[in-house]
Amino acid sequence: MSLPKRVVLVGPMGAGKSTIGRMLAKELGYRFLDSDRIIEQRCGANIPWIFDVEGEAGFRQRETAMLGELANEEHTVLATGGGAVMRPENHPLLKKDAMVIYLKTSIEQQVERTRKDRNRPLLQNDDPEAVLRNLFSIRDPLYSGLADIIMYTDRKSPRLVVRQLVNRLNPRTPRHKRQIRKEGRNHV
């Protein structure tokens, strides 16, 4: 079995997509891409600002355009925003040449990991836990439906999750081959 051209991480806010994605990319010798961070760089503004000025609809438009662009980037690990699965037109963009991994995480963990965060507009309200619960009920079937691998992350360190993912993706990739890929790639 050879490695997929792209690895795409989906899952809710606080699932650890960015942390795990960055570490996984390093292990595979792939470039790490984070769609939210690239949207912010391109826009010259952070996500709360984009939500404020353009509304969620404006952000979703940018997100779809970004996923379309990044769908052509091979040898990459892509961390997506938690809502990337909401638009059906995003689904083929997420799946293109990719192994899609759902980082599945309990509501308790999501609450804990996003508690002090000010960069997630959907959680800036009196009851972020209720929001996370509601989003989970809508999105969990979408994440599961798109995923080639469902990986539970509760009570696991990012290191352990990455090790388990590497084994699932390609148990036989020898270290020296990963090193060659690593040397040939730059970050976007």
Return the number of the residue (29 or 81) whose C-beta is nearest ligand S3P.
81
CB of 83 to ligand S3P, least distance (A): 3
CB of 172 to ligand S3P, least distance (A): 31
Establish if 81 lies at the interface with ligand S3P (CB under 6 A).
yes
Instruction: For residue 111, give every residue at least 6 positions away whose Cβ sits within 8 Å of its Cβ, in sequence order, or none.
Output: 14, 128, 129, 132
Instruction: For residue 39, give every residue at least 6 positions away whose Cβ sits within 8 Å of its Cβ, in sequence order, or none.
Output: 47, 50, 59, 62, 63, 66
Establish if 75 lies at the interface with ligand S3P (CB under 6 A).
no
Q: How many CA atoms, within 13 angstroms, populate the side-chain half-sphere of residue 159?
A: 0
Among 28, 29, 36, 128, binds ligand S3P (CB under 6 A): 36
Query: Residue 108 has which token pair?
Result: 């308790």
Among 47, 77, 78, 165, binds ligand S3P (CB under 6 A): 47
Q: How many angstroms separate the first and last alpha carbons of the chain?
A: 27
x-or-dash string of contact with ligand S3P, 142-171, rule CB under 6 A: ------------------------------
Strand locations in 64-109, DSSP E?
A: 76-79, 98-104
Query: Residue 101 has which token pair?
Result: 């991994």
CB of 13 to ligand S3P, least distance (A): 4
Q: Site residues for ligand S3P, window 2-21 (CB under 6 A)? A: 13, 17
Strand locations in 96-136, DSSP E?
A: 98-104
Q: Which stretch binds ligand S3P (CB under 6 A): 66-74, 88-96, 117-125, 150-158?
A: 117-125
Among 95, 121, 140, 148, binds ligand S3P (CB under 6 A): 121
Among 29, 120, 143, 147, binds ligand S3P (CB under 6 A): 120
Report the C-alpha dihedral over residues 6, 7, 8, 11, rounded to 10 degrees. Answer: 170
> By Cβ distance, which residue is nearest to ligand S3P?
81
Instruction: For residue 22, give every residue at least 6 positions away whose Cβ sits within 8 Å of its Cβ, in sequence order, or none.
Output: 32, 77, 79
Alpha carbon distance 17, 23 (integer Å): 10
**Residues interacting with ligand S3P, by CB under 6 A?**
13, 17, 36, 47, 81-83, 120-122
